[in-house]
Copies of this chain bind each other. A is one copy, B any other.
Amino acid sequence: MNLKEIKTPADIKGLDIEQLSELCTQIRQALLDRLSRSGGHIGPNLGMVEMTVALHYVFDSPSDKIVFDVSHQSYTHKILTGRAGAFVNPSEYGCVSGFTNPKESEHDFFCIGHTSTAASLASGLAKARDMKGGSENIIAVIGDGSLSGGEAFEGLDYAATLNSNFIAIINDNDMSIAPNCGGIYANLQLLRSTDGTAECNFFKSMGFDYKYVAYGNDLRTLIDTFESVKGCGHPVVLHIRTQKGKGFAPAEAHMERFHYGGPFDKSNGNPLNISSDESYTEIFTKHMLEMMKQRPDVAVITAGTPGAIGFGPEERSLAGSQFIDVGIAEQDAVGMASGMAKGGVRPVFGVVSSFLQRSYDQLSQDVAINGTPAVLNIFFGSVFGMNDATHLGWFDIPLVANIPGWVVLAPTCKEEYLAMLDWAVEQREHPVAIRVPGGSVLSKKRAFDHDYSRINKFEIMRPGSKVAIIATGTFHSIGEDTADLLASKGIEATLVNPRYISGLDEEMLREFESNHSLVITLEDGCLAGGFGEKVAAFYGTSAMRVACYGLPKEFRDRYSVADLLNECRLTPQQIAEDTEAMLKTLAK
């Protein structure tokens, strides 16, 4: 069968089991071709081929509704719903995103990228169906790794009480992104080892009907199982054992490395295009490993993404019990960090900007109100971070910096980053969040202040007059270049590295009023609720003009950084041009 001929799932319903099996082979080949060339979620998709074919063979999408948790495993679903071109033609690879998206297909119900949301979303669909008197099947596909997330628990706990059809598929490949962490995983192990017969059953304890499927990559078994629950009138969990990376030996053998990755050699799995450039992640890992060796009271916490913060199997082994993975459970990671700080040790929670969003209340209640000196190390909080709409690193400034008590630091280069990290761990007065710079590593090869205890004390990098450029974090270098450009035009701008982005150096800002008429702010994040707006409000009743540069209040998907910066007038040329024009107007 030519994959591109599949326009809708109806096109596979006439196939017999051999043909379906052959279809799986073709799909797996297409996935491997694409993944090896352009990267993506490798293991999750290879493991889901048979299940997805069986789902679409048995159920009637889009009338029946399948919600994929995280939706990073939805490539086969895309192939079966009219989007095969994006998997077989390299020129069309960019036509679909790596996640489900209603804009692409009526078979995608939500744009999903964070874990643990499918049960909630699907139970909403189920409740709507019940209110409208419908009878379609609602299916939530949830990986075992996602089960540790609070929303997954909340969603399943409610869904179990529905008096109507709700099919939760637990896709158990015995792996999260990294190995699973959390008490329930011993129960999954018990269920696997007893073929689902153990009486002590996490899902049954929540009230679900339960079926175990040991061979989750076997089409016949899957089809029979799905047929057996199709149209059932109550909530059921299908606990299905699959093989992550199925059909590609290196991915089966190295599940963590092949969860997500760039292009690789199909013959042996070896990564292609390895960069030899130093990354901020490596800098963090190396620094923390060294620090932990010296100080047994320091610990690094991750919420299920050790690789994203540079702690692969080897680094975890070196860190030993000073490395804590709580599973995909950001709320617990922040609560734990507060408890540990209260208990007298020094926790550093390394977290991806977008996932930090899952712990707002803990940042506020568990930490800030208590003033516990927890440390956050925020990665990818930058325009240079991930560029999927669901993973933007644009919102952590408004998120954290508006909570009373948090000291948010924005280092501008490697040396300043490490100086701030050292201070954050050393001090015991404040909750401190460090926004790791985005983009390639910038080294200034000079020493930086190691004491940041004078909160909100900005630093003047170059004194000047008329215009002051307050350039934060990653965008400090844009500020430098702008100042250079202005200097070449005879305008000696003041350049400021504010370092703190959760508050203002009011004394310095007041002083600027004596010989400046314009302040420019640059921030590597969404302007709404951010740093620049605070500067503008501070000067609101004065004659000082303020121009804020930053990212728009939008969810952009797969943007080009250069195009976006240009659109936001965030190039040094544009800012210098604007500045000249504003100064000219003011001089009138």
Chain A contacts to B: CB under 8 angstroms: 102, 109-114, 117, 119-132, 148-151, 153-161, 181-184, 186-187, 199-202, 204-208, 296-297, 299, 321-322, 324, 326-327, 329, 331-332, 334-345, 347, 357-358, 360-362, 364-366, 368-370, 389-390, 395, 398-399, 401-405, 526-530, 532-534, 536-537, 539-542, 545-548, 553-555, 582
Contact = CB atoms under 8 A, between A and B. Distances in A.
A514 to B, nearest CB: 17
For this chain, the copies found in one complex come to 2
Contacts of A121: 335-336, 338-339, 342, 366
A365 B390 contact: yes
Given A121-B335, A155-B332, A540 B547 contact: yes
The 6 closest A-B pairs by CB, nearest first: A124-B339, A150-B150, A128-B343, A120-B335, A160-B183, A402-B529
B127 A299 contact: yes
B183 A332 contact: no
Contact of A102 (B335, B370, B539, B546): B370
A362 to B, nearest CB: 7
Contact of A131 (B200, B202, B299, B334): B299
B340 A124 contact: yes
A344 B128 contact: yes
B370 A111 contact: yes
Given A200-B204, A205-B184, A112 B537 contact: no
A343 B187 contact: no
Nearest to A556: B404
Given A206-B202, A390-B369, A533-B533, A125 B342 contact: yes
Contacts of A340: 124-125, 127-128, 131
Contact of A362 (B151, B332, B347, B370): B151
Nearest to A533: B533
Given A335-B117, A534-B533, A360 B357 contact: yes
Which among A148, A297, A334, A357 has the greatest number of chain B C-beta atoms within 10 A?
A: A357
Contact of A154 (B119, B326, B530): B326
Given A123-B336, A127-B339, A200-B201, 9 more contacts: A114-B361, A124-B338, A124-B341, A125-B342, A131-B345, A155-B336, A187-B206, A205-B205, A398-B398
B329 A369 contact: no
A486 to B, nearest CB: 17
A187 B187 CA distance: 16
A405 B556 CA distance: 12
Contacts of A181: 158, 161
A365 B207 contact: no
A441 to B, nearest CB: 29
Contacts of A132: 297, 343-345
A129 to B, nearest CB: 6
A202 B466 CA distance: 66
Nearest to A528: B402
A112 B365 contact: yes
Contact of A402 (B117, B369, B395, B542): B395
A199 to B, nearest CB: 4
A555 B404 contact: yes
Nearest to A336: B124
A397 to B, nearest CB: 9
B127 A343 contact: yes
A526 B148 CA distance: 33
Given A200-B201, A206-B202, A157 B182 contact: yes
Contacts of A527: 537
Contact of A124 (B321, B335, B358): B335
A341 B402 CA distance: 30
A344 B125 CA distance: 9
A111 B369 contact: yes
A337 B158 CA distance: 13
Nearest to A203: B205
A73 B210 CA distance: 37
B158 A326 contact: yes
A183 B161 contact: yes
Contacts of A151: 150, 331-332, 335, 361-362
Nearest to A124: B339
